[in-house]
């Protein structure tokens, strides 16, 4: 858990240094191909005006989910990463 918190602190600094907020942010996730998991991600970004696209892996075992959404600040970006990690089992955040 400590490594994860350090990762989020570093990410927050990088986001603050590299973008003018609010800005469009592109999230990328990989999940085992399962409609429920994809819908969970879509629900988390519901009502934010997100553009969500999905693409299955060649063998169909995994699905990549890209979410392009306007975020207010680095804290909001990190909160969504944490929410995804808690609510979507087996997700990999890129």
* pLDDT over 60 at 1, yes or no: no
DSSP annotation string for the chain: -HHHHHHHHHHHHHHHHH-PSSEEEEEEEEEES-HHHHHHHHHHTTTTT-EEEEEE-TTSSEEEEEEEEEESSHHHHHHHHHHHHHHSTT-EE-
What tens digit of pLDDT does each residue of 16-57 get? Answer: 999 999 999 999 999 999 999 999 999 999 999 999 999 999
* pLDDT over 90 at 2, yes or no: no
pLDDT at 3: 84
* pLDDT over 80 at 86, yes or no: yes
């Amino acid at each position: 858990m400590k490594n994860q918190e350090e990762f989020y602190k570093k990410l927050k600094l990088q986001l603050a240094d590299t973008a003018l907020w609010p800005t469009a942010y592109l999230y990328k996730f990989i999940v085992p191909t399962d409609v429920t998991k994809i819908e969970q991600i879509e629900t988390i970004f519901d009502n934010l005006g997100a553009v969500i696209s999905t693409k299955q892996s060649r063998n169909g075992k995994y699905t990549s989910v890209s979410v392009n959404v306007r975020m207010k600040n680095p804290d909001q970006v990190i909160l969504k990463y944490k929410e995804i990690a808690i609510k979507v089992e087996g997700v990999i955040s890129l």
